[in-house]
Copies of this chain bind each other. A is one copy, B any other.
Amino acid sequence: MRLLEDRIRKDGKIKGGDVLRVDGFLNHMIDVRFVAELGAEFHRLFADCRVNKILTIESSGIGVACLTAQFFDCPVVFAKKSKTSNMDGDSYHAQIASYTHGNVNNVVVSKEYLGEGDRVLIIDDFLARGNALEGLIRIVSMSGAELVGAGIVIEKAYQDGGEKIRARGVRVESLARIASMSEEDGIVFCD
């Protein structure tokens, strides 16, 4: 998506080689009008999929998920990060390793809000190694809901998360795919 690539070139900040900060419009300040345009694009891509629920993960997925959900006229469920691995019977649980933060998060979704009959689109801000997305896919699978696919704002395509997940037959649509980036040479997007 050209609009997004231009914005990343303009406002994205590469830190220490592998960190791309987009705090100026997505991850700390949210340019709501702009992010709604990303939502419209996700809707164009998944318009015929009868999506009735959007699943994301706190915190940075929530804004883009809400602004996308308006186009589908459906609710958002956000997986919550939990310090404790609380294995109660009321929730689906997954463990997600965070490369950025160097820890493991237990994420939970209440069984009340996801289940059979749901047609789920996962929305998230970043896809790199794919740990968060794999965790959300496991939760959808446990719930008995149907996974329509995943809409990602920025994919680090030089890491293998996206390829691994697509290879399993999951439709993953990323609005910007980064082929390479470095502080010296900037960002190169995939064609």
**Smallest CB–CB gap between A96 and chain B, Å?**
15
Residues of B within 8 A of A25 (CB): 75
Residues of B within 8 A of A126 (CB): none
Interface size class of A (residues with CB under 8 A): 20 to 34
- Taking a contact as CB atoms closer than 8 A, the residue among B24, B74, B109 that contacts A32 in the complex is B74
A38 close to B (CB within 8 Å): no
A54 nearest CB neighbor, chain B only: B32
Show the binding face of A for B, using Cβ within 8 Å. Answer: 23-25, 28-33, 35-36, 58-59, 62-63, 66-67, 69-70, 73-78, 80, 109-110, 112-113
Residues of B within 8 A of A32 (CB): 66, 69-70, 73-76
Bound CA span A78–B58, Å: 12
A28-B109, A30-B66, A30-B69 given; name 7 further pairs at CB < 8 Å: A23-B110, A24-B112, A28-B110, A32-B75, A33-B73, A36-B70, A67-B67
6 smallest CB-CB distances across A and B, nearest first, come from: A58-B59, A59-B59, A29-B113, A32-B69, A62-B62, A30-B76
Q: Flag if A30 contacts B78 (CB, 8 Å).
A: yes
Bound CA span A73–B34, Å: 10
Residues of B within 8 A of A24 (CB): 112-113
A58-B58, A112-B24, A113-B24 known; A31-B70 Cβ under 8 A: no
A33 nearest CB neighbor, chain B only: B73
- Taking a contact as CB atoms closer than 8 A, the residue among B59, B67, B77 that contacts A29 in the complex is B77
- Taking a contact as CB atoms closer than 8 A, the residue among B28, B36, B58, B76 that contacts A113 in the complex is B28
